[in-house]
Structure 1
């Protein structure tokens, strides 16, 4: 089902919706809380949190990162428990990829995932990410190589 997914800056009008959003209990060990992600972005200016919205409803949260070594990362990605399994994740991930791909120096997008999070690994593979041989802080690194012609 097509939704009207928008990626919006976390701001006063969506902050409380963002921090109330949670994943299922069984997923909580796989992703940082939204409060932590937003707080981390306050002290780490390379991390930018975004509300994932369908119209005016916040359905998820993502954080994008740019650093001088590995460049473009989707550092956090979550869809709220009651919105999972409905197609929001696929559409939101595509919008995040498009947002990162707009940068001239973006040749690949990277993310990391907890090794036991098989659902996320499968999801990321379906959206075009492939496993690398890298492990960072115990998490597996995946990447999506971009064909810049698609985003031109």
Structure 2
């Protein structure tokens, strides 16, 4: 059995509200940085995408939004994934806070998602990563995610679990 140095806890309503605001701003910046959207249109595009994926907020069916907590009970990041298709989980957003990076929390988080997704009857995990995000891409490759598709500045990766 695998041993995890982290656990997931559900976000409170206040945490989710902060997460939603942060997510929209961060994704809009990613859209600009990747060249997929102009600065003028990025915020509205990110907001539309977020609201389309999660119309009932954290209560949207088949969405799993967690704070990642370490053994010292510190919040080290978050993960949001959803049941995308009958047997596929899609990682919508994933972040380990800067001060906790390069300590194995990212890898542990993805492995725990795999375990939880399997328990939910899912057997694949899909995610997208921007090409400029080389550290995230390296992490996914190290965990045997395979490139499924490349389009513009985006790479789609898939792993059978």
Under a length normalisation based on structure 2, what TM-score does the superposition of the two structures give?
Answer: 0.66
1:86 positional shift = 1.1
Q: Is residue 58 of structure 1 aligned with residue 59 of structure 2?
A: no
What is aligned with 1:4? 5
Query: Which one has a bigger Cα radius of gyration?
Result: 2
What is aligned with 1:25? none
SS in 2 for 1:100: helix
What is aligned with 1:126? 142
CA contact 1:109–1:145 (8 Å) conserved in 2 = yes
Q: 1:95 aligns with which of 100, 108, 112?
A: 112
What does 1:1-152 correspond to in 2, within 5 Å? 4-11=5-12, 15=15, 19=19, 29-30=29-30, 41=54, 43=56, 45=60, 46-55=62-71, 56-68=73-85, 71-104=88-121, 106-133=122-149, 135=151, 139-146=154-161
Q: CA RMSD in A?
A: 3.3
1:47 positional shift = 3.1
What is the alpha-carbon distance in structure 2 between the residues aligned to residue 70 and residue 99 of structure 1? 13
Count the aligned residue pairs.
131
What is the alpha-carbon distance in structure 2 between the residues aligned to residue 15 and residue 43 of structure 1? 15
CA contact 2:127–2:157 (8 Å) conserved in 1 = yes
1:114 positional shift = 0.6
1:89 positional shift = 1.1
Runs (4 or more) in structure 1 with deviation over 2 Å come to 28-31, 36-44, 67-71
For structure 1, the residue ranges without an aligned partner over 5 or more in a row are: 23-27, 147-152
For structure 2, the residue ranges without an aligned partner over 5 or more in a row are: 23-27, 32-46
SS in 2 for 1:128: coil
